[in-house]
Structure 1
Amino acid sequence: MMFFPGRICVVFRKGPLGFLLQEPSKEARRIKDEPTQQDKSVAMREDLVRQNALIVVRQRGGDASDRTEVLGDYILQFGKYKGKSFRWLLENDVGYTMYLIKNLQKEEASGICMSEGHGKDSLQSFINYALSFGEIQSLLAYEASGVGVAAASSEDDQLVGFGSRAKSTWKEIWDGRADGYADFILGKSCVPGTRMCKLQQYLRKRQESATDSTSAEHASRAPAKPLGRLSY
């Protein structure tokens, strides 16, 4: 068996219970929130991206015959993380990865191609790379199964699962909204599919429901309009 001293493997960020963390890392969040950090250059051809990746792998003593390792050093040619490697995206923003996979699956299911070009080639290569990992496959299967998405108990009992309020339930966040945390979540820009995004959707539903109930209550308390004089 050959030894490759420079071989690099993906290191997924995981929570205390071993689940993949879907929210972006600090570095990813900084790039996302600061447009000047984003690469706006013209997308490169796939063959050039591959050549550059092979050079990087060979220079560090990696396994150039390992397709997955080489793909890890492909540089993204699309989106807000353009210029970062495929491996970097998996390690720093699984939530965005899931969003990309689901979006492409919907596009393919509809039979409508939303875009073409080098950026689209890069997207398809990245998704093939991401789907080669059991962790991503398991997460997709988990979300598709509906497990943990409010079955027997209800959405109220779902745990936040991130940040300082990780062990609080969604209902506790709603009921304690006077502390400002619910407003903080509602005001955030979230990546689709992340825990924060799901909590945000729940809070918006509760907010809309509360608004509707208040409107209905006010309507019921409104004085009845006097009947006009009948004419015969």
Structure 2
Amino acid sequence: MDHKPFFTFQAGTSDLQLKASKEAVRVSKANSKRAAPRLTSNTRELAEAQAASRVSLLGGNPADRWQLLSQTELLSQTELQFGQYRGQTLQWLLSQDLGYTATILAGHQGEREGGDVSSTPLMWNKDALLEYAGLFTAVMAAVRRKRAPGTAAEHDQLVGSGVFTAMTYREMYESVEKEPSTYRKWLRQQSVRRPGSQLAQLKEYIDRRDKEMQPVASSAAATSPAVSPSTTSPPKQRRKRKLAVLCMYHVSGVLLCQSGVV
């Protein structure tokens, strides 16, 4: 059996096409209408058994796990257990939406490099995806571009978790809508406990964009005409204080809520 994905390259280049295929869009829409299954302690065992069954049907030999090719075949037929393409094989994912693949792996590499050594079903599944993607040089080149700070690829990186999962970093930072603005304000106030995590990477992006905007704001203030003080000052109004509750989904699927007076 052929374990390799079907790659599409951008015209006239050696760069892979990162845009989602029509098939990927269809699957994503279908999954958005269904509740995601809960990952349990036997998720990995079931997924590996299903992968072995697929390899057999495709003419491979999953029983000989000492063979490198057999291991690769098993990886290619392992199902994605999370996200908008859950239920599809890793081979399918790399064939249909490399942009999403690169985004997930860029975040996952950051988590592992930041010291996350957890072995949850979710992290196992991401490890399997990284191992499979690592077989293909062009895929890992796309991942590296996603991780490069200050590049167009970083601006287009997806938040990847919670209610803003499909929003890009740029959209999250530049949005004037209430919910993203509240989330940005909350994230700025958080301390990084897990360097490299998805939240830590997003916070790093927001903090860096804030610093880049400071010289612009200072320059604008310096060139503004001076305004003579008025003889009377407007009466001060007491600001009403409200209790705000911010909820988000952690990458593990747990709903976390943050409350505070604003």
Quote the residue 1:13 is aligned against: 8
Cα shift at 1:90: 0.9
Quote the residue 1:163 is aligned against: none
Cα distance change of structure 1 residues 80 and 116 upon mapping to structure 2, 3 Å threshold: farther
Q: For 2:16, give the aligned amino acid.
A: L
Extract unaligned runs of 5+ from structure 2.
161-167, 176-208, 233-262
Work out which of the residue numbers 48, 55, 58 in structure 1 matches 2:56.
58
Cα distance in structure 2, aligned partners of 1:133 and 1:82: 22
Quote the residue 1:183 is aligned against: none
Cα distance change of structure 1 residues 100 and 216 upon mapping to structure 2, 3 Å threshold: same
For residues 47-79 of structure 1, the C-alpha deviation after alignment (integer angstroms, 9 at most, x for no partner) is: 221221121121122354522122111111122
Cα distance in structure 2, aligned partners of 1:132 and 1:38: 32
SS of 2:37 mapped into structure 1: coil
Matches for 1:178-197 after TM superposition, within 5 Å = 191=158
Determine if the alignment matches structure 1 residue 70 to structure 2 residue 64.
Answer: no
Quote the residue 1:220 is aligned against: 224
SS of 1:42 mapped into structure 2: coil
TM-score, with length taken from structure 2: 0.52
Cα distance change of structure 1 residues 107 and 144 upon mapping to structure 2, 3 Å threshold: closer
**Highest Rg: 1 or 2?**
1
Cα shift at 1:136: 1.8
Q: For 2:88, give the aligned amino acid.
A: K
Q: How many residues align?
A: 179
SS of 1:56 mapped into structure 2: helix
SS of 1:84 mapped into structure 2: coil
Quote the residue 1:155 is aligned against: none
Cα distance in structure 1, aligned partners of 2:86 and 2:38: 10
CA contact (8 A) 2:43 2:121 kept: yes
RMSD: 4.3
Q: Give the structure with the higher percent helix.
A: 1
Work out which of the residue numbers 45, 48, 51 in structure 2 matches 1:47.
45
Extract unaligned runs of 5+ from structure 1.
1-5, 150-157, 161-185
Q: For 2:54, give the aligned amino acid.
A: V
Cα distance in structure 2, aligned partners of 1:15 and 1:105: 25
Quote the residue 2:89 is aligned against: 85
Cα distance in structure 1, aligned partners of 2:157 and 2:127: 23
Cα distance in structure 1, aligned partners of 2:113 and 2:3: 34
Quote the residue 1:102 is aligned against: 106
Cα distance change of structure 1 residues 12 and 39 upon mapping to structure 2, 3 Å threshold: farther
Cα distance in structure 2, aligned partners of 1:224 and 1:34: 61
TM-score, with length taken from structure 1: 0.57
SS of 2:47 mapped into structure 1: helix
For residues 138-180 of structure 1, the C-alpha deviation after alignment (integer angstroms, 9 at most, x for no partner) is: 334566678x95xxxxxxxx8x9xxxxxxxxxxxxxxxxxxxx
Determine if the alignment matches structure 1 residue 131 to structure 2 residue 131.
Answer: no
Q: For 1:139, give the aligned amino acid.
A: A
CA contact (8 A) 2:93 2:101 kept: yes
Cα distance change of structure 1 residues 77 and 137 upon mapping to structure 2, 3 Å threshold: same
Cα distance in structure 1, aligned partners of 2:10 and 2:173: 22
Cα distance in structure 2, aligned partners of 1:22 and 1:88: 14
Cα distance in structure 1, aligned partners of 2:113 and 2:131: 17
Q: For 1:90, give the aligned amino acid.
A: L
Quote the residue 1:23 is aligned against: 19
Cα distance change of structure 1 residues 39 and 202 upon mapping to structure 2, 3 Å threshold: closer
Cα distance change of structure 1 residues 127 and 46 upon mapping to structure 2, 3 Å threshold: same
Cα distance change of structure 1 residues 85 and 37 upon mapping to structure 2, 3 Å threshold: farther
